[in-house]
Amino acid sequence: MDHRTFKTEINEQFARIAKAIANPHRLELVDLLAQGERSVEELATEAVLSIANASQHLQALREAHLVAARKEGLRVYYRLADASVYHLIQLLREIAERQLAEVERIVNTYLTERKAMEPVTLNELMTRLREPGLIILDVRPALEYTQGHIAGARSMPIDELQQRLHELPRDQEIVAYCRGAYCVFADEAVELLTTQGYQARRMQQGYPDWQLALLPTETE
């Protein structure tokens, strides 16, 4: 066996994966698809991209077999090819957090209120999942809640929260969660709830992290 040829060819395949996700827009698209299946149009809107640009990025991810697609009428829907794809994104973030000081600087610049918020870890929430005095609030868009959510969680999208505060009892603790560690929906929810006199905390990670950990989930 030609060991040099083998090493070169196998590393070329690994590099395909790295090349496919080496783009901030593609990382965001993978993050969105970790919440559930989406059409190209929906992904373009969420990521603030043109449909043509979103399609190009999705095609690059598809060529590396990181996402899969299906057609329904005139629309094309994408999903993650495997749960391990999101695990790759988790690892990238963990390495960046440890090795790049710029990550902490950006977080401290834009998420200024987060330091004052005591987070809830996945393990802590799991141990308290059936606690009668705890409300778990999913503040992602309703479609994402429908496709999958933490068992027992209530759906209250962040853009509806202000108008629906009356639905929440003031004598119970609330844990809000959203798409992931760098999603700001849960931060905004906790800030709003605490200013209105509620006892609220944010989950440290997001629904895809909970799902990847094989913790209890439900779908509508």
Contact 169, 197 (CB under 8 A): no
pLDDT digits (tens, 9 = 90+) for 46-98: 999 999 999 999 999 999 999 999 999 999 999 999 999 999 999 999 999 99
Distance, CA of 70 to CA of 110 (rounded, Å):
37
Residue 1 confidence (pLDDT): 66
Tell me: do 40 and 113 sit in the same domain.
no
Tell me: do 124 and 212 sit in the same domain.
yes
- Band the pLDDT of 118: cuts 50, 70, 90: confident
Tell me: do 208 and 131 sit in the same domain.
yes
- Band the pLDDT of 114: cuts 50, 70, 90: confident
Contact 200, 173 (CB under 8 A): yes
Residue 117 confidence (pLDDT): 85
With 70 as the cut, is the pLDDT of residue 187 above it? yes
Q: Is residue 104 part of a domain?
A: no
Total structural domains within the chain: 2
Segments forming the whole domain that contains residue 129 = 109-218
pLDDT digits (tens, 9 = 90+) for 168-182: 999 999 999 999 999
Average pLDDT over every residue of 134-145: 97
Structure tokens at 128: 């308290």
Distance, CA of 173 to CA of 138 (rounded, Å):
14
Contacts of 56 (CB under 8 A, 6+ apart): none
Residue 122 confidence (pLDDT): 96
Catalytic, out of 80, 178, 183, 203: 178
Q: Is residue 192 part of a domain?
A: yes
Of 84, 117, 135, the domain-final residue = 84
- Band the pLDDT of 116: cuts 50, 70, 90: confident
With a threshold of 0.75, does the pTM exceed it?
yes
Angle between helices 83-99 and 24-33 (to 10 degrees): 130
Average pLDDT over every residue of 189-205: 96
Structure tokens at 197: 């006199």
Tell me: do 158 and 214 sit in the same domain.
yes
Among residues 76, 92, 114, the alpha carbon closest in space to that of 31 is found at 92
Residue carrying the six token digits 């957090």: 97
Contacts of 149 (CB under 8 A, 6+ apart): 138, 155, 207, 217, 218, 219, 220
Residue 178 annotated as catalytic: yes
Structure tokens at 118: 């005591």
